[in-house]
Amino acid sequence: MFVDKIVDLDDDRSYLILDKTVLNDKNYYYALRLDSNGKPTDKYLFFEELNEDGDYYLDPIREENMKNLLTISFTISFMNMAYDM
Does 36 fall in a domain? yes
State how many domains the chain has.
Answer: 1
Does 70 fall in a domain? yes
Domain that holds residue 64: 6-84
Does 1 fall in a domain? no
In the chain, what percentage of residues exceed pLDDT 90?
72
Does 39 fall in a domain? yes
pLDDT, tens digit, for every residue of 21-48? 999 999 999 999 999 999 999 999 999 9
Q: What is the 3-state secondary structure (H, E, C) of the chain?
A: CCCCCEEECCCCCEEEEEEEEEECCEEEEEEEEECCCCCEEEEEEEEEEEEECCEEEEEECCCHHHHHHHHHHHHHHHHHHHHHC
- 38 vs 26, 35, 76, CA distance in Å? 28, 5, 28
- The pLDDT value recorded for residue 1 is 66
